Chains A and B, each alone.
Chain A
Amino acid sequence: MKTVIGYLREFYGKMALGFGIKFIGTIAELMLPFILSHVLANVIGKDVEEIIFWGALMIVCSLIACVFNVSANRMACKISRDFAENLRRDLFKKTLYLSASQTDKFTIPSLESRITTDTYNIHGFVNMMQRMGVRAPIMLIGGISITLFMDAYLSLVMIAVLPLIFATVFFISKKGVPLYDKVQKCVDNMVRVVREDYMGIRVIKALSKSGYEHRRYDKVNRALSAEEVHAGVIMGSVHPIMNILMNAGTVAVIAISSGRVQKGLSSPETIIAFMQYFTHISMSMMVVSRMFVMYTKSAASARRVGEVLDAPEEINVMAKSVCPDSENSAHIAFDNVTFSYKGKKNNLSNISFALKKGESLGIIGATGSGKSTLIKLLMRFYDVSDGAIYINGEDIRTIEKARLNAMFGSALQQDFLYADTIEENIRFGRNISHDDVVSAARIAQADGFISKFSDGYNHMLSPHGTNISGGQKQRTLISRALAGKPEILVLDDSSSALDYKTDALLRSALRENLKGTTVVTVAQRVSSVKDCDLIIVLEEGEIIGMGKHDYLMESCTPYKEISDSQMGGAFVE
């Protein structure tokens, strides 16, 4: 909350100026009923010229009000634009810089809605606050003070109504917010069924389950409608109740004033003027209560945005004194690494190995055995819980992020492609020439299919690359990893959608072209790792076999089993 308000600070001067202009405009507007009541009370029935004079004055005031309000509104638009732009820019950047575990905690959909919906809410509120936040209170306070000046007794009657109105709005909106939370949850449920069925339409049709799905949808659909009706019943009462209260004020004023006029304490003209002000006051009351509802909503948004902006930097560069260099001269070394995502069960335990420059490492194991976790630690998405990881003898926690990133080229599981040309997807915003892009694609066996597009490398991908096949996506991602000519190439299950032939071609191209590059491959196929200089077999986060293919075939039964099942063992024998 504080952080978000901080973004307004630089606009305080401009906002004050805008408020000033708005103030003048509002005062001019407030003059209107004042003049009107003056005319009705004192002028009317006396002199035509005087009436015309006051009427002209009213028109001038209206004009001033209009001009000043417009220019103040425009200033407000500009300020809120600049404010929201800065806020969203910083929020997005900060989001990208969050550590992986922070992202896990916030979850991507939630971060997304913070960048979109929440910043819009805040923007809307800042805009509205500037445009109405001055006008409504001034109208309210100004109106009340003028009526106090005219007839204090009557205005107290009216003022008595205001707290009632405010309490009603407060009470009902407090009730309403959780109801709308429920509605939102029902919407989520309804959308989920649609999304699920959209994805699973083949299965549903294959099993002829349309009827079942209709019933399933009916349930969530009805629940949603019921919740909406429920919320509507409560929120719908706001308007009539406010109307009754305000009109009760009017009635009270007339009732009481009749006695006062009789006693000579008040005049009929005052009452007429009073009615004029009353309309203004109640209108501003409406606006103030509406702002209150908006405030509740945007305060929640500001808190959510603030949470992200205030999130601490988790992946810090440590001092060498804390994480000293290692004697080991290996390119990559894991020294007794243990790691746990949640701090309960270890996801990796006591992993140690070393790899020389230009060597290759293969990691194999069942789903959930910790293969991808090992890669994530190497690239420092997470910090190890115990032990240390060294690159060229330096603890990776002491290497600046930019330098560490530059060492790697990686094609990860469920990696991402975006709506842009294939060339840009490979380049990924880096400073890489077209020739380098092409030669990376050649090695990754992607050049073939890319050249077949009529527009070649300028072929546009759709969001998430849905317009190319799974195998083509993987080859594009490998091209991206290669294009930066990294020291360390990481391939996490990134050739699983390739057929054996293409996979074999890819492996031999990598061997030929990447002599000095250290390659780390995670795979399910033995054929993808069997030529590696070192193969690690993982099971439940522990190394159960380590060595070359031939050695593991003899010493590691699980490895041999995997290999036999995949290589068509019977045929080889």
Chain B
Amino acid sequence: MSKGGMFGGGPGSFPQGKGDGKRPDRKKLDKKTMKSILWRLCGYIMNYWYLFIPAVLMTLFSNQLALLGPKYSGIAIDAIASPEGVNFAVVRENIVKMILCYVVSAVLSYILAFLMMYTGQKIVCKMRKQLFEKLTSLPVGYFDTHPTGDIISRISYDIDTVNSSLSHDLVQIMTSIYTVLGSLIFMWNISKPLILVFVVTVPVSVFFAKYRSKKVRPLFSLRSRKLGELNGYAEEMLSGCRSIGAYGREDVISGRFNDRNQDAMDAYYNADYYGCTMGPTMGFINNLSISLVMMLGGILYLYSQNGTVATGSMFFITLGGVAQFVQYSRKFAGPINEFANIIHELQSAFSAAERVFRVIDEEPEKEDDQNAVFLENTRGEVCFKNVSFGYSQDKTILENVSFEALAGKTIAIVGPTGAGKTTIINLLMRFYDVTIGSIAVDNTDVRNITRDSLRRAYTMVLQDTWLFCGSIFDNIAYGREGATIEEVKAAAKAARIDSYIESLPDGYDTILTDDGVNISKGQRQLITIARAMLANSQMLILDEATSNVDSRTEIKIQEAMRELMRGKTCFVIAHRLSTIQDADTIMVVLDGKIAEMGSHEELMKKGGFYSTLYNSQFE
């Protein structure tokens, strides 16, 4: 976030907990990747060259002015100190110059900060957009294998890291380079011999910074990792605080938490223990330089005073010159000390950018075949032919599954958890493509149909009800763009949720909030059923569609469900056998194979898995 950035190394530059805790493991990036990330970031920046280039010019200009300040003050002091008495004209002139310099420099630096922040925001906004749009184009499998928290930390935390680096570090680097070079030139002009001091002290501080950061960096990344672990543990245990209370395990869990707490704090301490020597040591080297400058400058001044050094000689120096030189040496040494910090920040920005780019570069769902047809006026005939499928190479979930669903018929899929029922649905919707065999809709291989039109041909009601934060109207109308309030109400009535919605103070405009406290699980499911009722497609998938609806409501909506299913090809997964037994075909899936298939009566007669299952409810 620009919080820290804008504050000029303000609160944000202090190592702060949560941010650091979530910081991605900073794997060492090799030089090649670093380079390509750098180029890519430059590409983003160059998209906004009309903001960036003025910002660069302003940086140079405002720094130049800031450097001129001490120069004028030196001249003014010399004018005050001149043996012929104070030269007021010179003093006045230089004071005006100083004021001008400082005011213009401040204004410029504000505009510059604004430009950089604005550019940063443009870039970040674009990155977030790209990342999000990539997400929606990824195959469903990606979401099954990547935890939500990880993506969220990429889209918020990592992008923020990149942002603060863009809007802060870049300016800092330019300023630093300019200040160092500028001060050097000024110092060179005042007195060349005095610069010798820095020939000694600068390499010492560079060496020390390098040596320290080599030692400290792994300690800091350990610290981040440990804090991350602690956060994760706290989050996990708090989500179970009720169970912990129910079993009276508070002390045990607190003890375990504290082990991690101690680990994290020790890691913090270790990193700090070595890290906190940096400031004072750099300060020492700084002070050392100034002491040396003073000694050397003093001696040179002495000789200049008593005439040992001639006025034109490079060893000649005035009192104002010594004072200026000391001021410039502070300016000169400051950025050199900062460099270690900036490089550290840049590295973390690079690894954050890499995490973001990795998602943006993720392979999207395979594009539709060039000759893919648009599915229209579907009859709803579905045919599985020798389908085998596994989510990963080494584990087959479905093996040689073949069946045919005729238009308008209902197929119920029965089987124990993990047998492959949901996988069949995933293949129907083409969330995944089959490994072997083929699936056809209306005699066309689904791989030759555009995904959009294929998916639109289905309506799905799933066990995990999905509602988004928006009004109830929006949530129901989600199934059909441009649905009118009458249509929505009719659907809600059919799903037996209308009277409940009307009883809410805001009716259909009620906003569903995240935690959904204002609405029960069963009611959420009814809303998704209403959504399905609006979407008028030829094929229907019901995956435990009424599992959260209590039985009495279920009876009430049964008629509506029957209405919904009429004339459509339906695929039904349910635990409740009452829902299943009316199906035209019942398919029993065991260990990824079709074990039995037939109508309720046929399967009962057969006396296999289904009949055992059916009878078990009466035991």
Contacts and interface: CB of A to CB of B under 8 A. Distances in A.
Interface string A38-81: 01100111111001101100110111011001100110111001
Contact of A233 (B106, B114, B243): B114
Contact of B616 (A229, A472, A504): A504
A454 interface: no
Contacts of A197: 132, 135-136
Interface stretch (A4-12, A234-242, A390-398): A234-242
A117 B18 contact: yes
Contacts of A363: none
Given A65-B280, A429-B252, A571-B581, A85 B468 contact: no
A310 interface: no
A496 interface: yes
A258 B76 contact: yes
B346 interface: no
A402 interface: yes
Contact of B18 (A98, A120, A271, A469): A120
A248 interface: yes
Contacts of A74: 273, 276
B79 to A, nearest CB: 8
Nearest to A367: B522
| Majority secondary structure, A binding face | helix
A160 interface: no
B242 interface: yes
B463 to A, nearest CB: 9
A322 interface: no
Nearest to B429: A206
Contacts of A524: 550-551
A141 interface: no
Interface in B505-521: 514, 520-521
B291 A103 contact: no
A410 B242 CA distance: 11
Contacts, number: 489
A190 interface: yes
Interface in A391-426: 401-402, 405-406, 408, 410, 412, 415-419
A330 interface: no
Contacts of B152: 191, 194-195, 198
A290 interface: yes
Given A231-B2, A237-B110, A272-B323, A69 B241 contact: no
Contacts of A112: 234-235, 238
Interface in A452-510: 463-464, 469-472, 480, 484, 496-504, 508
Contact of A381 (B18, B140, B242, B431): B242
A88 B288 contact: no
B138 to A, nearest CB: 8
A244 B102 contact: yes
Contacts of B103: 244
B294 interface: yes
A359 B81 CA distance: 104
B91 A100 contact: no
A203 B458 CA distance: 11
B612 A501 contact: yes
A121 interface: yes
Contact of A70 (B277, B520, B522, B617): B277
Nearest to A376: B242
A250 B151 CA distance: 51
B70 to A, nearest CB: 9
Nearest to A98: B241
Interface in B249-272: 249-254, 256-258, 261-262, 265-266, 268-269, 272
Contact of B553 (A98, A366, A526, A527): A366
Interface stretch (B44-52, B181-189, B298-306, B486-494): B298-306
B608 interface: no
B327 to A, nearest CB: 7
B447 interface: no
Contact of B114 (A120, A236, A290, A558): A236
A81 B76 contact: no
Given A58-B294, A565-B555, A40 B243 contact: no
Nearest to A131: B276
A170 interface: no
A500 B140 contact: no
B39 interface: no
Interface stretch (A144-152, A210-218, A332-340, A512-520): A210-218
A565 B554 contact: yes
A311 interface: no
B547 A496 contact: yes
Given A248-B102, A469-B418, A221 B466 contact: no
Given A96-B244, A207-B535, A198 B148 contact: yes
A276 B326 contact: yes
A387 interface: no
A377 interface: no
A159 B161 CA distance: 38
Contacts of A85: 258, 261-262, 265
A250 B103 CA distance: 13
Contact of B241 (A77, A108, A255, A276): A108
A202 B140 contact: yes
B578 interface: yes
Nearest to A247: B102
B77 interface: yes
A187 interface: yes
B243 to A, nearest CB: 5
Top 10 A-B residue pairs of the complex, sorted by shortest distance between their CB atoms: A120-B17, A416-B240, A268-B81, A405-B248, A429-B252, A55-B295, A62-B287, A200-B466, A66-B284, A73-B276
5 contacts: A58-B290, A62-B288, A228-B117, A480-B247, A567-B617
Given A62-B291, A97-B250, 14 more contacts: A46-B302, A85-B265, A116-B17, A194-B135, A203-B462, A229-B117, A229-B121, A240-B107, A247-B106, A258-B79, A269-B319, A297-B11, A418-B236, A501-B612
